[in-house]
């Protein structure tokens, strides 16, 4: 009887999934405030990176999530406030998430766009310099099927912007509490000069919105881009019911539905804060996992 008991225990611990599930201390590696040099921006782009627990002991390459921060945040915010490394450790260890590399670049208050006069071309730098350099430095699987974009607030806007405009680059998009605005909200924002908006998009001409905004309006893009382009990315969109951005996110959901673009749209109880986004990230990784594992 005793021999049978020890045999069962030894067999259980020989199964990798069981060992991982029983070991809460299997942790990935976090590197903070690394740099990629950008000729386009004329400065370094800082970034932090999460590498899954087996990165240093395996020889394989991994899918990658580029995770964008909100306004007033930076490349360490998803780690410092969002606990992204702890969430990824737990979900990867339990098998609820595929092992992946997570890259968190700093974008300042650029809104992830090329600004109206071309003096700050963050979008160009991200695609022409940042992604190619990251995917040379780290063992990352190359190609659309193994790449996702995500973010919160300003970064949620940026993730949608990049997924729509560069759909050939990403398999999935995770947009949390995204800063989606209709024209009337943007007119008010530009009039008041809120959140670096004039520096990014330019100034109003009467009631006419600047062309840079037209090119980067999420609702305009969803309305005007070819369906084939929109359909090629899987979207997870969520927003708190007490968040003022619920209006823009609801308009986005309505417009996607009107064009019959498949997506997941979730409204949970919550506001525009890290408590909400920590849960968003958990749900987002679970959404992303089967896409990376298909």
pLDDT of 195? 86
Distance CA 219, CA 222 (A): 5
Angle between helices 84-94 and 274-292 (to 10 degrees): 40
Instruction: Give the pLDDT confidence score for residue 42 in this predicted structure.
Output: 97
Dihedral, 253, 255, 259, 261 alpha carbons, nearest 10: -30
Structure confidence at residue 294 (pLDDT): 76
The token duo for 150 is 């995500």
User: Residue 5's pLDDT is what?
Assistant: 41
pLDDT at position 207: 85
Mean pLDDT of 155-176: 98
DSSP 118: S
Lookup result for tokens 């963050």: 122
Give alpha helix (H) positions in the chain.
Answer: 2-13, 16-22, 77-80, 84-94, 122-125, 131-137, 154-165, 183-192, 197-201, 211-216, 218-224, 227-231, 246-258, 274-292
Q: How confident is the model at residue 102 (pLDDT cuts 50, 70, 90)?
A: very high
pLDDT tens track for 263-283: 999 999 999 999 999 999 999
pLDDT tens-digit readout, 104-120: 999 999 999 999 999 99
Residues 178-193 pLDDT 10s:
999 999 999 999 999 8
Q: Do the Cβ atoms of 216 and 113 come closer than 8 Å?
A: yes
Provide mean pLDDT across the span 196-211: 93
Share of the chain above pLDDT 70, in %: 91
Question: pTM of the prediction?
Answer: 0.91
pLDDT at residue 26, rounded to an integer = 82
For the chain, list the domains and their CATH numbers: 25-292 (3.40.50.1820)
Q: Report the chain's mean pLDDT, rounded to a whole number.
A: 92
Output the pLDDT for position 25: 53
The stretch 66-73 carries a mean pLDDT of: 97
Q: Are 155 and 70 in contact (CB under 8 A)?
A: yes
* Least confident among 18-27, 69-78, 142-151, 194-203: 18-27
Residue 9 banded pLDDT, cuts 50, 70, 90? very low
pLDDT for 24 equals 61
**pLDDT (0 to 100) of residue 15:** 44
Higher pLDDT, 278 or 7: 278
């Amino acid at each position: 009887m005793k021999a049978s008991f020890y045999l069962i225990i030894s067999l259980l611990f020989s199964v990798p999934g069981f060992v991982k599930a029983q070991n809460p201390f299997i942790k990935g590696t976090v590197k903070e405030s690394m740099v990629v040099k950008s000729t386009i921006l004329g400065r370094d782009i800082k970034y932090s990176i999460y590498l899954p627990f087996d990165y240093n002991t395996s020889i394989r390459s991994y899918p990658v999530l580029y995770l964008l921060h909100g306004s007033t945040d930076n490349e360490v915010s998803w780690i410092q406030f969002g606990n992204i490394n702890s969430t990824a450790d737990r979900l990867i260890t339990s098998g609820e998430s595929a092992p992946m590399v997570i890259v968190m670049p700093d974008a300042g208050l650029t809104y992830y766009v090329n600004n109206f006069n071309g003096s700050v071309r963050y979008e160009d730098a991200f695609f022409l310099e940042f992604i190619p350099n990251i995917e040379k430095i780290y063992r990352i699987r190359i190609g659309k099927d193994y790449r996702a974009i995500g973010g919160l607030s300003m970064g949620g806007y940026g993730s949608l912007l990049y997924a729509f405009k560069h759909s050939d680059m990403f398999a999935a998009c995770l947009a949390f509490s995204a800063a989606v605005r209709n024209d009337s909200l943007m007119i008010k924002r530009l009039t008041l000069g809120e959140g670096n908006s004039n520096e990014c998009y330019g100034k109003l001409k009467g009631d006419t919105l600047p062309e840079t905004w037209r090119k980067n309006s999420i609702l305009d893009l969803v309305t005007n881009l070819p369906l084939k382009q929109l359909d090629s990315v899987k979207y997870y969109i969520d927003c708190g019911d007490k968040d003022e951005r619920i209006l823009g996110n609801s308009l986005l959901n309505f417009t996607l539905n009107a064009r019959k673009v498949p997506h997941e749209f979730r409204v949970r109880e919550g506001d525009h804060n890290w408590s909400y986004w920590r849960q968003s990230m958990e749900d987002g990784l679970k959404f992303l996992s089967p896409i990376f594992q298909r």
